[in-house]
Structure 1
């Protein structure tokens, strides 16, 4: 069956000037298509009320009341955000399933004279496509995994590789978490929802050239509260792995630099350590919490590394049973040391310094 001219499929998104998400702010915050702007035809409370009216008084009453709200909201968007749009402006609108909310918005915009269109299947169809891409894309890429114990400068090495033109996937940046009990982002920055993480991950994967290696840090299945798709986990487990080796003193200095912000709220830091209860002896945990409350971060992180993180990393390596493709000794985890390591890795893989 032919698709109506004002209803388009996902592959045509690039033809439009603006992508409009007509869902509520709460729906938009949970996840949305990359680059979309939120112009809701119903706000969160209005949508809740329409749902209640539908259940209590029926579909007609819900449409009668909701229709008036939709009209007012669309009119406000036209007045506030579209007055500068030229006659040739082409917006693409979507809602949850490509139904009444986006359809009403498109009808208004087309009546004005803009060549607006509605995304077929809406966000629900897009989400189905994202799930498919999470399984299809990882096996098509040439992965290179950077491993090493806590404080080895793996994330900084990825940045040095990216600065030299290498393809890099920074999973911790997408997840807004470092993947450990103390890995939350500074200043209470929340992690994305699982759906928003999936969307960002697919957006990143689609930009990579399959003919060139993609560098990524070794991660467990979960990074904080979000999970990696199984296809990516499997692909990374099969990929060649680089093992970064650095002196303990250099690693400790880097950890203290990266996690210094935790010392601003000592009570919160001590509370975070309770996640280790049952994994560490009670007297050890009590000592670490005392140090946290006293701001003695050097002693705290030195023991966390030797008693918790390093043994955890060794066990993960033992379980994998796969020897590293190559080892990269880095005497100093400063910019010069990491830049040299990045250049050596790229030369070793035939990418040069500006691949």
Structure 2
């Protein structure tokens, strides 16, 4: 039998399959990429056992757990564990602290299915602690550069071409602006932190000690940046990406209209998908009504409505260029220009995508 492990680093570096024996409510609050929730107890069973433990102690709680998880319920859960173990012979199982639940799961697999399957010592709590510590250590030791630029200059496109980049918006599954929501939801805060830390761990293991990330506010949608990372972004050097207004509008039409529409139609039937896509665009614009001013909002909203109607009728996207252009020149560009002035002393390089990529790949 492979021994139980506490080598968390290797688990995450190698994307080792993980069976999570915690209750679904625990899993939904935070887990690890690729982990599969195959709980020993469901939420209600865990709740009852927890009350019993507090009132009558561990032995009574174990007895109640065995009573609740028995017969066909136990057989179905055991079968799911067996299937996981057979499909992922290199994997491990864990519970919250690597204690009773994972040990019971191990015992049932061994005694009733003849499968010796190892667990993660310390469980979820220890693995999460390792990732949070790794994140803080990396932020304190590595060098960072911040990629800035006006809206639509293609900062994410540049980052994705660099081996030493950290795609914060990708880990948060959000584009970082009022219009940044995708058709599917964001990860939990805990899952976002895990994704970020694992990315740092893998890149550091590849030898990278210098990272590039996009200039972000403290929150990306509902995900908050780790405080140490956000504080660092306020003084790290900036590389400023430039592009023409026309190119920026074209890119925004691609990302925030064409691709977003495709996301919704992939999740739903075409009619429903378009309706949800259009509703999200309108809602995104309405969120910044106060900052736009009522009159400007009404003007841009009318242009957006006309563009959506034409898109639904013919599939044409050109009408979107007008409200996007207005939003850039009247709202986003003045705001970003002001921010650029405030950070001017930190800008160490500026140029188009080709120049910026060359600089970031071969810094002086």
Give the TM-score taking structure 2 as reference length. 0.78
C-alpha separation in 2, matches of 1:92 and 1:62 = 25
Question: How many residues in Structure 1 have an aligned counterpart in Structure 2?
Answer: 330
Tell me the residue number matched to 1:42. Answer: 41
1:1-355 → structure 2 map (5 Å cutoff) = 8-11=5-8, 14=11, 18-51=17-50, 62-71=61-70, 73=73, 75-82=75-82, 89=89, 91-111=91-111, 113-159=114-160, 161-162=161-162, 166-185=163-182, 187=183, 189-209=184-204, 211-261=208-258, 264=274, 265-295=277-307, 296-329=319-352, 338=353, 340-341=354-355, 344-346=358-360, 348-349=362-363
Q: CA deviation at 1:8?
A: 4.0
Change (3 A) 1:306 1:103: same
The range that moved more, 257-266 or 24-33, is: 257-266
Q: CA deviation at 1:345?
A: 2.3
Q: CA deviation at 1:343?
A: 5.2
Q: CA deviation at 1:39?
A: 1.4
Report the secondary structure of 2:323's partner residue: helix
Change (3 A) 1:303 1:121: same
Decide whether the 8 Å contact of 1:175 with 1:226 is kept in 2: yes
Decide whether the 8 Å contact of 2:85 with 2:91 is kept in 1: no
Change (3 A) 1:105 1:64: same
Change (3 A) 1:347 1:132: closer
C-alpha separation in 2, matches of 1:238 and 1:56 = 53
Change (3 A) 1:85 1:64: closer
Decide whether the 8 Å contact of 2:38 with 2:81 is kept in 1: no
Decide whether the 8 Å contact of 2:106 with 2:117 is kept in 1: yes
Decide whether the 8 Å contact of 1:90 with 1:115 is kept in 2: no
C-alpha separation in 2, matches of 1:155 and 1:345 = 16
Decide whether the 8 Å contact of 1:25 with 1:44 is kept in 2: yes
Q: CA deviation at 1:285?
A: 1.5
Decide whether the 8 Å contact of 1:179 with 1:223 is kept in 2: yes
Change (3 A) 1:266 1:92: closer
Q: CA deviation at 1:7?
A: 5.6
C-alpha separation in 2, matches of 1:65 and 1:47 = 10
The range that moved more, 48-57 or 138-147, is: 48-57
Q: CA deviation at 1:144?
A: 2.7
Decide whether the 8 Å contact of 1:266 with 1:294 is kept in 2: no
Deviations 1:84-143 (A, max 9, x none): 957x94653211222321121122234355443333332223233333223221232232
Deviations 1:16-47 (A, max 9, x none): 96422101233223321343222111123332
Q: CA deviation at 1:269?
A: 2.3
Q: CA deviation at 1:178?
A: 0.8
The range that moved more, 77-86 or 134-143, is: 77-86
Unaligned stretches of 5+ residues in structure 2: 262-273, 308-318
- More helix by proportion, 1 or 2? 2
Give the TM-score taking structure 1 as reference length. 0.80
C-alpha separation in 2, matches of 1:16 and 1:346 = 28
Decide whether the 8 Å contact of 2:148 with 2:238 is kept in 1: yes
Q: CA deviation at 1:194?
A: 0.4
* RMSD (CA atoms): 3.2
The range that moved more, 176-185 or 293-302, is: 293-302
Unaligned stretches of 5+ residues in structure 1: 330-337, 351-355
